[in-house]
């Protein structure tokens, strides 16, 4: 019989593979079939409705004093995060976007230092410098004209990662006080209210009659897969594994994106993604991975094992 811990790892792997594939699937819809902001509207509202349905089975009241924090979580963790994620992806390479997002733990450590006064050790500072250097270099490479990368798109994806890092720090006390589904429902509600005035115009001007079957399948995938199901799988996994274990699976994103880009470039002649995977981008990826490894205390644990 499969243990709950094993099921948690399977859930984490599944949701992160789903995220990794989403970079190409969502990219395939934008902007020819749907504008990024319209896709953000459908993603937040669609997943939000599904979460509200689930919330009928959870009876839990939220204290009024926590509403301001929940509103901020909705603004940063849903509205800002999704807005810059999709708009950034529509402008840049799915490979660039997937790699930049892996720098999120670096942002989280820096934010935790200023907001939560968590100490910055020499090892963490070194990790920030190495990983941050890789992220900055990759963002700048968006201006090189090679592949489908874009400087503006890479900056947008970075804002997406930064806003979600803020969200992870701010939402922490709420997750320990309320049931996860309660926090998610309120977060999506405030996220919907925050993004509505910025995204409704593009949604109204979307020509859904021009969608073929594959476009509808892709749209359903983006709304349900990397949004609704991903949140649920993450909630399940966090019951049995530590948050650090969950966050480590973010490395699956660029791996999946690179594999899919490679396959498409091989099968489709003159693919737009040819040139998206270069040696310098792989180097940036390695630098970010090393940086995150250092700030998570990886090398320190390895040294302790060697001494023992």
Return the pLDDT at 244: 62
For residue range 88-102, list pLDDT tens digits in order.
999 999 989 999 988
Cα end-to-end span (Å), the chain:
34
Mean pLDDT value across residues 52-58:
88
Mean pLDDT value across residues 135-152:
81
Where b means 16+ CB within 10 Å and e means fewer, 218-246 reads bbebbbbbbbbbbbbbbbbbbeebeeeeb
The pLDDT-based confidence of 271 (bands split at 50, 70, 90) is: confident
Residue 75 gets which letter from DSSP?
I
Please state, for a pLDDT cut of 90, what percent of the chain lies above it.
43
Extract the tokens encoding 105: 């733990």
Average pLDDT, the chain: 87
- Is residue 74 predicted with pLDDT exceeding 60? yes
- Is residue 147 within 8 A of residue 274, CB to CB? The reply is yes
CA atoms within 13 A on the CB side of 256: 21
- Is residue 93 within 8 A of residue 145, CB to CB? The reply is no
Where b means 16+ CB within 10 Å and e means fewer, 109-142 reads bbbbeeeeeeeeeebbeebbebbbebbeebbebb
Nearest to 251 by CA among 285, 227, 300: 285
Return the pLDDT at 50: 94
The pLDDT-based confidence of 299 (bands split at 50, 70, 90) is: very low
- Is residue 13 predicted with pLDDT exceeding 50? yes
Q: Which residue has the higher pLDDT, 241 or 81?
A: 81
Listing DSSP states for 193-229 in one string gives: HHHHHHHHHHHHT--GGG--HHHHHHHHHHHIIIIII
The pLDDT-based confidence of 4 (bands split at 50, 70, 90) is: confident
Q: Which of 26-40, 84-98, 269-283 is predicted least confidently?
A: 269-283
Mean pLDDT value across residues 183-203:
95
- Is residue 66 predicted with pLDDT exceeding 70? yes
């Amino acid at each position: 019989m499969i243990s709950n811990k094993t099921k948690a790892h399977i859930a984490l792997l599944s949701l992160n593979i789903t995220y990794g594939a989403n970079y190409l699937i969502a990219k395939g819809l934008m902007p020819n079939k749907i504008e990024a902001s319209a896709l953000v509207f459908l993603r937040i509202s669609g997943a939000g409705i599904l979460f509200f349905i689930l919330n009928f089975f959870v009876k839990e009241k939220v204290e009024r004093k926590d509403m301001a924090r929940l509103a901020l979580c909705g603004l940063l963790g849903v509205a800002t995060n999704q807005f810059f994620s999709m708009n950034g992806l529509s402008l840049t390479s799915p490979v660039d976007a997937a790699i930049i997002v892996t720098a999120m733990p670096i942002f989280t450590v820096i934010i935790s230092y200023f907001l939560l006064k968590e100490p910055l050790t020499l090892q963490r500072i070194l990790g920030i410098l190495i990983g941050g250097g890789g992220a900055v270099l990759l963002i700048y490479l968006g201006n090189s004209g090679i592949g489908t990368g874009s400087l503006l798109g890479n900056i947008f994806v970075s804002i997406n990662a930064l806003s979600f890092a803020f969200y992870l720090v701010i939402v922490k006390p709420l997750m320990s006080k309320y049931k996860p589904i309660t926090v998610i429902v309120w977060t999506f509600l405030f996220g919907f209210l925050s993004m509505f005035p910025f995204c409704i115009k593009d949604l109204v001007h979307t020509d859904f009659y021009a969608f073929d079957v594959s476009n509808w399948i892709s749209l359903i995938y983006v709304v349900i897969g990397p949004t609704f199901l991903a949140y649920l799988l993450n909630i399940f996994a966090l019951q049995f594994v530590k948050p650090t274990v969950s966050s480590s699976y973010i490395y699956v994103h660029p791996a999946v994106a690179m594999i899919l880009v490679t396959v498409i470039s091989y099968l489709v002649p003159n693919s737009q993604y040819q040139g998206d995977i270069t040696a310098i981008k792989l180097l940036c990826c390695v630098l970010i991975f090393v940086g995150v490894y250092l700030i998570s205390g990886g090398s320190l644990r390895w040294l302790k094992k060697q001494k023992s």
